[in-house]
Amino acid sequence: MRLHPMHPAAWVLDQLRDAGWHIDDLLAFTRASTLVLAHRDGASPVVLKPGSAATTSWPNSTRPPARPPTASTGTRR
């Protein structure tokens, strides 16, 4: 996916490409959030939120597995 170079999301997609991602689709772009459908070579597409710790802190080879959701310990009334 290629955007016009003056589109505000163009630099976000360029940053992801530089990090080794292949962009499939720009799902959302607002002042508060960007969501991108992208994949790496040989991997299934995933939804990324650029700038979040999940996309910037860990290279794919060392990224820990996703944690399963935990059950709530309290009850709401």
pLDDT of residue 36: 93
pLDDT of residue 41: 93
| Cα torsion through 50, 44, 5, 18, rounded to 10 | 70
Span 17-68, pLDDT tens digits: 999 999 999 999 988 889 999 999 999 999 999 876 555 544 555 454 555 5
Give pTM, 2 decimals: 0.63
- Domain of residue 21: give its range: 10-55
In a domain, 27, yes or no: yes
In a domain, 20, yes or no: yes
Distance in angstroms (rounded) separating the CA atoms of residues 29 and 37: 12
75/9: higher pLDDT: 9
In a domain, 48, yes or no: yes
